[in-house]
Amino acid sequence: MNLSSLNIQIIDKRLTLIFSGEFTLYQITKYQKFIDTLSFSTIEHVEIDLTQLELLDTASSLFLNNLEKNLKAKNIESSLLCHKQEILESLALVVKEKSNTSEFPHAKRENFLESMGEKTYNNYLGFVSFLSFLGEMFHTHAQSLKSIKDIRYKEIAFEMNESAIKALGIVALTSFLIGLVVAYQSAYQLKLYGANIFIVDMLGISILRELAPLITAIVIAGRSGSAFTAQIGAMKITQELDAMRTMGFDPYLFLVLPRIIALMIAMPILIFVSDIMGVLGGMLVANLDLQITPELFLDRFRDVVAAKHFFIGIAKGPFFAFLIATIGIYRGLMVKDDTQSIGFNTTKSVVESLFAVIVCDALFSIAFTNLRM
């Protein structure tokens, strides 16, 4: 590689910049600092001499082009002295490309209507995709019911243990604390009016009918629904689903249906446990704060709380379980080929499951109220 240098000659009001050797990206910073030390206050003309230059790259061509523009901005005339065709072509190419890209288009800012329209359309596409998933799942489910031996009993039992039996502890503890808190907050108001005994009515109906199913669904959505998404998403990234299809195994039959069926079977059991623990929590507060003995509490409970409230709460279980499992599995199948997508879809599955459960519970409340149940 030939040595590069920059020589300066000043005669009267004329400045000559003589570049020699190779002028590449690596010399730009050094030359720029050197030129910045010069005083152009008395200079009327600058000559850029490239006759001794042997190599000029694109970055250096841009540097020379900008130097000429800066001199012109200071009302200083400049001229270029060069005889080598390849160097002149490099300088001309830079000028041509800069003229074509002198103005960069500004990013168009979306207005409110465009943003809302795009989000609405994306949500519509997502809903259609979810309906397509449900259609394929129901078709597979109908096909599997043609023969009892095709039902994956072992997988269903395994998923019941993973998503339900192992969740008994957290469901029981959460429901007990909810019953405790609701009873404690209500006890103060009931004592003001001497209506201590009515805490049984309030706790019995609210826990059996609404709180126990809803709390259980929330816990399962955060625990099992997110697990479904993460498990199937990881299997998709590692191409295990493609391997299953290659070997002739249907992922819907082996992965999707066992999880949904297991959760639909287990959810009423979890709600039953939640009912018991919620009532026990309320009974404890009623005994400690309102002096209502467990015997009196249970007698009043049997007299005022109809069995229909218990069955309504239990009946919500399979519907909540179906929503949680299908959304969790669907989000797992939507995972792309990167680990960040697992976290994104896991979060989406929990949020969407909770929203779907609350909407479903609201619809049940409206329907049962109109049916006077």
Distance CA 296, CA 301 (A): 8
| Global pTM value | 0.67
Q: What are 98-101's contacts with CB under 8 Å, separation 24+? A: 98/62, 98/65
Tokens of 236: 């998709």
Q: Is the pLDDT of residue 263 over 80?
A: yes
Position 105 pLDDT exceeds 60: no
Cα–Cα–Cα angle for 86, 92, 97, rounded to 5 degrees: 125
pLDDT at 100: 58
For residue 57, give the 3-state DSSP assignment: coil
DSSP 51: E
- 136-145: pLDDT as tens digits: 778 766 666 6
Asked if 202 and 300 count as a contact pair (C-beta separation under 8 A), the reply is no
Note whether 17 and 8 are within 8 A (CB): yes
The pLDDT confidence band at residue 315, using thresholds 50, 70 and 90, is: very high
pLDDT on residue 136:
79
Structure confidence by residue, pLDDT tens digits, 331-344:
988 888 777 888 88
Domains along the chain with CATH numbers: 5-100 (3.30.750.24), 140-370 (no CATH)
Q: Decide if pLDDT at 33 tops 60.
A: yes
What's the confidence (pLDDT) of residue 40?
78
pLDDT of residue 290: 84
pLDDT of residue 317: 92
Write down the pLDDT at residue 106.
56
Instruction: Give the span between the Cα atoms of 358 and 267, in whole angstroms.
Output: 16
Does the pLDDT at position 201 exceed 70? yes
Tens of pLDDT, residue by residue over 288-311, are: 888 888 899 899 988 888 889 999
pLDDT at position 3: 73
Q: Is the pLDDT reported for residue 175 higher than 90?
A: yes
The CA distance from 119 to 256, in Å, is 29
Distance CA 140, CA 83 (A): 78
Predicted local distance difference test score (pLDDT) of residue 1: 46
For 210-239, how does the pLDDT look when each residue is reduced to its tens digit (9 = 90+)? Answer: 899 999 999 999 988 999 999 898 888 888
* Region for 23 from its dihedrals, namely left if φ exceeds 0, alpha if ψ lies in -120 to 50, beta otherwise: beta
* DSSP per position, 87-144: HHHHHHHHHHHHHHTSSPPPPPPP-HHHHHHHHHHHHHHHHHHHHHHHHHHHHHHHHH
Tell me the C-alpha distance between 165 and 145, whole Å. Answer: 26
Query: Considering the chain, what is the average pLDDT of its residues?
Result: 85
Between the CA atoms of 101, 105, 106 and 111, what dihedral angle is there, to the nearest 10 degrees?
-170
**C-beta of residue 176 within 8 angstroms of C-beta of residue 284:** no
**Is pLDDT at 277 greater than 60 in this prediction?**
yes
Whole-angstrom Cα distance, residue 109 to residue 98? 26
Tokens of 41: 């206050």
54-103 confidence digits (pLDDT tens): 888 888 888 888 888 888 888 888 888 888 888 888 888 877 776 555 55
End-to-end CA distance of the chain: 93
What pLDDT was estimated at residue 291? 84
